[in-house]
Amino acid sequence: MSVSSTLANGAARPAATQRATAAFYRVEVSLKRDLPDPEGARALSLLHAAGLSAIKKVRSNKIYAVRGPLTLSHIHQAAKELLCDVVTEDYKILSPQAPASGSRRIRVEVWLKPEVSDPAEDSILLAFTCAGLPKPVSARQGAVCYIEGRVAQAALEKAIGRWLANPLIHRISAAPSA
Amino acid sequence: MKNAVLTTPKAAPSAAAPQRTVQEFLDLSARGLAELSRKSVWSLSEAELLAAQAYFKKESREPTWTEMETVAQYWSEHCRHKTFNSPIAYSDGSRTRRIKSLFAETVAKATKELKKPWCLSTFKDNAGIVSFGKSGKWALALKAETHNHPCALEPYGGAATGLGGVVRDVLAAGLGAKPVLATDVFCFGRPDDRKPLPEGAVPPLRGLLSAVAGVGDYGNRLGIPLAAGGLYFDDGYRLTPLVFAGCAGILPRWAVGKAAKPGDLIVAAGGRTGKDGIHGATFSSTELDGSARAAVQIGHPINEKKILDALLQARDRKLYRFITDCGAGGFACAVTELAAAAGGARVDLAKAPLKTADLEPWEIWLSESQERMVLAVPPANLRALEKIFADSFCEIAVLGEVVRNGRITVEHGGARVADLSLNFLENGLPRAERKAVWKAPKAAKAGKATLNPGAGRRCAEILSAALAHPNVCSRESVVRRYDYEVQAGTVIKPLQGVKHDGPGDACVIWPRAAVGEAEGFAGFALSHGLNPAYGKIDPYWMSLACVDEALRNLVCVGADISQAALLDNFCWGSPDNPVVLGTLVRAALGCYDAAKGFQTPFVSGKDSLYNEAKSAAGKSAPVPGTLLITAAAPVRDVRKSVTMDVKAPGNPLYLLGSTAADLAGSLCAEILGVEGAGLPRVDSKTALKGFRAVLAAMDKGLVLSAHDLSEGGLAVAAAEMAFSGEFGIRLELDALACKGVIYSPEVLLFSESPSRILLEVPADREAEFVRAAKGAPVLRCVGRTIANPILKVKGLDGLSVMEESIAALKARWQKTLSEALA
Amino acid sequence: MKAPRILVLRAPGVNCDVETEAALKFVGGAPEPATMAEVRAGRVRVLDYAMVVFPGGFSYGDDLGAGKILAVQIRSYLKDLRHLVRQKRPVLGVCNGFQALVKAGLLPFGSGEASAGFAANDSGRFEARWVHLRLNTQSSSLFFRGLPEMIELPVAHGEGKLVLRSPRLLEDLKKNHSIAMQYVSDDGKLAGYPANPNGSVFNIAALSNPEGNCLGLMPHPERFTAIYHHPNWTRQTFFKHCVGLEIFRNAVEYCRS
């Protein structure tokens, strides 16, 4: 039941500290393009309230970090059957490398800090076993926002910390995205 | 699924670590002790530290850190309510009164003197308990709590865990009540406030949205209807928001008492223990300065739901003898409370299921991880209890047992980490006398209203502003985020009227499914009273006004206020400041007089002090002294309940109570930017007679709609009744019964004189109504409902004062919050 | 006649079970609550029951989407449920139970493959409100016997927007009379928010299998089992029919026959 302390930053742990079977995956789940994104619209209106009126659009996704004795095909099965609703959502398995830079969109990841227990963890672990998959060692749920419009990265992180997340319990990281 | 239940918890690896003692504690000077307390976030005073030192001198040993942490938790303001239980020298300018215990001499004294036989348990349990229904089989547990300090830092998690905590209080009332209603009241800065904030402070709009989401996500998942509550906005809350959460639960009469016996196992049930929220109890006694250690968590409502499901089954099979919840102070407070009630306990912390293995014993002892309960279980019942909890996927673990030796003994593996005398913990807390000073402000003296008479158009403008005011406008955009009908018992809903969007005065719960009885129409109503604006002028009259408001809200739905039970929640600044403490004493004195005057006992209460924060300019300011009164009363037959929307045109409208020039602290004065004179002063004797008369008429079915007059007075109440029922109203101001001579239509329409209710009476039974309500000291027909959808007011001179379309008034009333929260 | 045994299945976070059982009892059923743990352990078998009900709530906190984990469990541990549906015994899923039945592939067709899903309400908020609904008069649903075409029930959910895998599926649903209820305005027309509280495609509020014995609906029939549940009972201007209770009565009477 222990929560790995480095999971939440979204970066893979150095291989030396892992058991051979404890692979680490990140799965990003997005609404299908033709569906409205009320969560993104809410974020947009709050960022406007924060004074960042040049932001034009916010799209919100969910993200999962799962560590455990899982193969790539396991994680694809889990993504398809558990982590996303195939009728309304798409998923992609993220590579552990940082996303490409130099784009007009900013990608923001928000995770609960490692010392804050994630209320969704038990459910995620349970879901894997119910679907007949190996039980992960740990799992966390986070949020991703894609932000379009002119805004300085530092100002954005600050506004998100004040209006959408909370630096006391969340780790917020923004980076340009493809 | 099987992995979700582990009945053999793993021991932490540090079990063998030697138990650290506080080196040279016995030799420290007072200054040294104070320094140590500050560094350790114990929040203990010098006298308390010296008392602890004296105790350990007598035991001739140094304390362990865990022991000192236990003392700090158990003696915290949060757990012991020191301010309300310590002597106070209270001076009100003319004389000094020595109060031995503010609690015993005000709130609790009224309850004791009123001696109501239907009060089954007051102040001593996790919640107050009163009898419920005719059969004598049921009882109702009531509790309201605050979670202000966590909400200032993390409003989503703070509000959610605040609700979780108060629900656990009800689950731990007696042997456990089934929660059938949850409530929330928020005091925040204005949602449109964009003024600069200090680093780390949460903008009021964001705070409100997050708190609403936190309560909604938690309460909706638990399946407890959130059907009563309130929002109040004032600049005084922009840095120190107040978040109240309440809960009512049904339990069988036989389950009201509880007592653990020696040999009973001490069992922890629910979520696992982690490093969450350590020092929550002591932290809430320090002023927020942003650097305070973050005692914030987010809740796990499904864990609480699992406890709820399993616990009520175990209760009905009588598998345990005592229960309490883990709130502030975690096991340290919960197990010690159990030990204090049972005469002693021994526990082994290595047996507690942990979230992570790296917890020190003192952290396990103090952790405030959410969703945990502590039970005392006869050993023979353990197997049966384990099965029930396993079927609900809920973990339990035996921590130790009840031993009648007068001590709380805490071990970890083989090592002893704390061993304290319960007598010392319970009775060793030194009580230092505090000073309190009250100076009556000039505005509190009755005087003439500063409003000018005349100016016909102005009434309509004031009404329009009043309806759009954040403290009056529609709460629909918040209410609909809560599942207020789960459990199928909400027969009078928070939203009422033709379009289901009018502002109800109180909700009525008919717990038919919860008690499992198809027959019977017994229910109860619950309402609130809160008006800090009056408190800024005189907290004594605020207390009376709050009790009056809560009771008249109950009357409006037809609840029997002769069995109304009250809950008090005081939220104040630092009691170390004699002026702040003076206002608190004055409010408590008001509570006593209100309870006695209305003959309504308090059954439970809580205070939250040190609600202060530093502004961007670095100035520390206390929160406005805020009293929340929660009132609950039986509705003997829910089929006779009344809503606030007018029902048909052509019916006479009666106004209960007389109108005076009461504009101090009023909404009208705020809108006009004037300092109104005349603070509403409740005359409880007259008010009570009026309320009883109205209830007598309601019982005969002679009242079609009823609405309480509060912020914005008669004009706002009439407008709300009209647009909710979609018929017009015509008022005639010369028909109002007045105290003194009032010429100004503004004063007549917007005065906030207390104890008034506007009633719609069936035209064909008017005479019958007048006979049934003859006990009312002041009751006048002041107008009629009309088919034309307008609010029309005729002034003293017979000329029209205003004539407004009710659709336009409703649009104004609906806009403010729905736009702010969109 | 003996009261039919009805399984009311609970998982952690399911929270409308008590009033659902009460409603079944009021109309002469014998509801028996059981948890997923008991089903998994084989102590409870669905085929022993005349009817199965999945009440509303937030099973497993809806942590992976509404009803998702419950749906996975239905697939893995309740394999007999499809058999029970084929035997024409009534199955009812309310709110979260509906979401789970759809995600488990039992509705709208019992193919076992999810052909519909749910997204967050268009408003982005949890919505609790009473809605007007039009029943499909051509539906063969055993739950609707004797009910008027226009009814009112409360909804309370955050993820109620029904989405179909393809536009063709909508045509199939129409053809099979599987669209059991639609959100309408008070004058019976298909309308947008707030009449349609979540933005469901074609205003779909409930789905039935073509045979009519398996029903899933977002509104809560267990919350309208007495006239005092209606928001306007004090005005006495509404149709005095406790629609929710009738839905349960139809099911229990069907079990008896």
Range of the structural domain that residue C77 is part of = 5-256
pLDDT interval class at A14 (50, 70, 90): very low
Instruction: Name the strand (E) or helix (H) holding B396.
Output: strand B396-402
The answer on pLDDT for B233 being more than 70 is yes
Q: Which residues of B466-495 are buried (b: 16+ CB within 10 A; e: fewer)?
A: bbbbbbbbbbbbbbbbbbbbbbbbbbbbbb
Residue B447 above 60 pLDDT?
no
Answer whether residue A95 shows pLDDT above 90: no
For residue B512, give the nearest of C16, C22, C61 by CB distance. C22
pLDDT at C1: 66
Cα C165 to Cα A62, A155, C115: the distances in Å are 21, 40, 5
| Inter-chain residue contact B491 with C228, CB threshold 8 Å | yes
Predicted local confidence at residue B453, as pLDDT: 47
A38 contacts chain C (CB < 8 A): yes
pLDDT digits (tens, 9 = 90+) for C213-249: 999 999 999 999 999 999 999 997 666 679 999 999 9
Q: What are phi and psi of C196, to 5 degrees?
A: -95, 105
Count of domains observed in chain A: 1
Q: Using CB atoms, which residue from C64, C121, C125 is nearest to A124?
A: C64
pLDDT tens digits, residue range C38-54? 999 999 999 999 999 99
Interface contact C119-A35, CB threshold 8 A: yes
Which of A90-99, B159-168, B639-648 shows the lowest per-residue confidence on average (mean pLDDT)? A90-99
Query: Is A87's Cβ below 8 Å from some Cβ in C?
Result: yes
Question: What are the structural domain ranges in chain B?
Answer: 643-822
Instruction: Tell me which residue in B297, B302, B355 faces A1 most closely, judged by beta carbons.
Output: B355
Q: Annotated catalytic residue: which of C157, C220, C229, C230? A: C220
Chain C nearest CA to A43, separation (Å): 11
Peptide bond preceding C4: is omega within 30 degrees of 0, i.e. cis?
no
C120/A contact by beta carbon, under 8 A? yes
Chain B residues in contact with C12 (beta carbon < 8 A):
302, 305-306, 309, 392-393
Considering only the beta carbons, identify the residue of B154, B206, B303 that sits closest to A169: B154
User: Is the confidence at residue B519, as pLDDT, over 80?
Assistant: no
Who among A86, A89, A130 is closest to C72 (CB)? A130
- Taking an 8 Å cut-off on Cβ atoms, the answer to whether C15 and B305 are in contact is yes
Mean of pLDDT values over B144-164: 93
* Highest CATH level, class, for B643-822: alpha beta
Q: Is residue A1 part of a domain?
A: no
* A96 occurs within a structural domain: yes
C-alpha pair distances (Å), B52 with each of B21, B67, C238:
14, 10, 68
Structure letter (DSSP) for residue C120: -
- Which is more confidently placed, B454 or B499? B499
What tokens appear for B52 in the block?
A: 């602890």
Residue tagged active-site, from C16, C21, C95, C152: C95
pLDDT at residue A105 greater than cutoff 70: yes
Mutate: best of A88, A89, A90, partner C, most C CBs <10 A: A88
Residue corresponding to tokens 């063998």: B16
Task: Extract the tokens encoding B365.
Answer: 């002892």
Q: A63: distance to nearest CA of chain C, Å?
A: 11
CA nearest B201 in A: which residue? A162
Residue B445 reports pLDDT greater than 60 = no
Here the CATH number for the domain that contains residue A113 is: 3.30.1280.10
Round to whole Å and give the CA distance between C234 and B721: 14
Within 8 A of C61 by CB-CB distance, chain B residues are: 221, 300-302
Task: Label residues B248-260 b or e (16+ Cβ within 10 Å = b).
Answer: bbbbbbebbebeb
In angstroms, what separates the C-alpha of B16 from chain A's closest C-alpha? Answer: 21
Six-digit token pair at A18?
């892992």
- For residue C185, the domain's CATH number is 3.40.50.880
Q: Which of A46-60, A103-117, B517-531, B544-558 shows the highest mean pLDDT?
A: B544-558
Contact B518 C12 (CB under 8 A): no
Give me the pLDDT at residue B4, please: 35
Extract the tokens encoding C219: 């509104």
Lowest mean pLDDT segment, chosen from B53-57, B509-513, B515-519: B515-519
Cβ(B681)–Cβ(B541) below 8 Å: yes
Is residue C214 part of the annotated active site? The answer reads: no
Neighbours of chain C (3+ CB pairs under 8 A): A, B
Confirm or reject contact between C114 and chain A (CB < 8 A).
yes
C109 CB within 8 Å of a chain A CB: no
- Indicate whether A47 belongs to any domain: yes
- How high is the pLDDT of residue B357? 86
Q: What is the spatial distance between Cα B759 and Cα B774, in angstroms, rounded to a whole number?
A: 14
Contacts of C165 in chain A (CB under 8 A): 87
For the segment B355-372, the average pLDDT, to the nearest whole number, is: 89
The minimal CB distance from A31 to the residues C63, C119, C124 is found for C119
Among B572, B698, B599, B684, residue whose Cα is nearest residue B644 = B698
**Per-residue pLDDT at C230:** 95
pLDDT of residue B20: 81
For the question of residue C222 being annotated catalytic, the response is yes
| Structure confidence at residue B295 as a pLDDT band (50, 70, 90) | low
Structure confidence at residue B10 as a pLDDT band (50, 70, 90):
very low
For residues B401 and B344, what is the distance between their CA atoms, to the nearest angstrom? 9
Residue of B209, B316, B475, B483 to mutate when probing chain C, most C C-beta within 10 A = B483
What is the average per-residue pLDDT within B614-629? Answer: 89
- Show the domain range for A110: 20-177
pLDDT single digits (tens) A154-178: 899 999 999 999 998 899 998 887 6
* B591 CA: distance to closest CA in chain C (Å): 34
Distance from CA of A102 to the nearest CA of C (A): 32
Q: Is A89 domain-assigned?
A: yes
pLDDT at residue number B448: 45
C-alpha angle A116-B368-B613 in degrees, rounded to nearest 5 = 80
Say how far apart CA A55 and CA A40 lie, in whole Å. Answer: 12
pLDDT digits (tens, 9 = 90+) for B778-815: 999 999 999 999 999 999 999 999 999 999 999 999 99
- Subunit contact B491:C229, Cβ cutoff 8 A: yes
Question: With bands split at pLDDT 50, 70 and 90, how would you rate the model's confidence at C55?
Answer: very high
Nearest-by-CA chain A residue for B275 = A115
Q: What pLDDT, on a 0 to 100 scale, did the predictor assign at position A170?
A: 92
Please name the chains neighbouring A, where neighbouring means 3+ C-beta pairs under 8 angstroms. B, C
Distances (CA, A) of B62 to B38, B65, B416: 19, 9, 13
| Model pLDDT, residue A9 | 37
Optimal mutation site among B302, B479, B505, interface C, most CBs of chain C within 10 A: B302
- pLDDT of amino acid B289: 39
Does residue A18 have a pLDDT over 60?
Answer: no
- Rounded Cα distance between B165 and B246, Å, is 9
ipTM for the assembly:
0.96
pLDDT value at position B364?
93
Q: Rounded CA gap, B474 and B469, in Å?
A: 9
Kindly report the number of other CB atoms within 10 A of residue B37's CB atom: 20
The answer to the question of residue A31 being in a domain is yes
Most confident of B431-440, B486-495, B617-626: B486-495
- Contacts A–C by Cβ distance under 8 A: 71
Q: Which two tokens stand for residue C204?
A: 């779909």
Residues of B noted as catalytic? 78, 147
Of the candidates A116, A126, A168, the beta carbon closest to that of B153 is on A168
Q: What is the pLDDT of residue C237?
A: 64
Q: What pLDDT sits at residue B9?
A: 34
Comparing CB atoms, the residue among B302, B482, B510 nearest residue C128 is: B482
pLDDT band (50, 70, 90) for residue B275: confident
Given pLDDT bands bounded at 50, 70 and 90, which one contains residue B451? low
From chain B, the residues in CB contact with A49 under 8 A are 194, 203, 205-206
Partners of A125 on chain B (C-beta within 8 Å) are 3
Edge-first strand order for the sheet with B226-233 is B119-121, B128-132, B138-146, B242-252, B178-188, B226-233
Q: H or E stretch including C21?
A: helix C17-26
Closest-CA distance of chain C to residue B164, Å = 14
pLDDT at B14 over 50: no
Please indicate whether, in this complex, the C-beta atoms of C220 and B485 are within 8 angstroms of each other: yes
Contact call for residues A2 and B272 (beta carbons, < 8 A): no
Q: What is the pLDDT of residues C183-206, one digit of tens each?
A: 999 999 999 999 999 999 999 999
- The answer to which of A2-6, B268-272, B509-513, B583-587 has the lowest mean pLDDT is A2-6
Q: Give the predicted TM-score (pTM) of the model.
A: 0.94
B-interface mutation test, from A48, A116, A170, most B Cβ less than 10 A away: A116
What residues does B288 pair with on adjacent strands? B613
**Is the Cβ–Cβ distance between B817 and B811 less than 8 Å?**
no
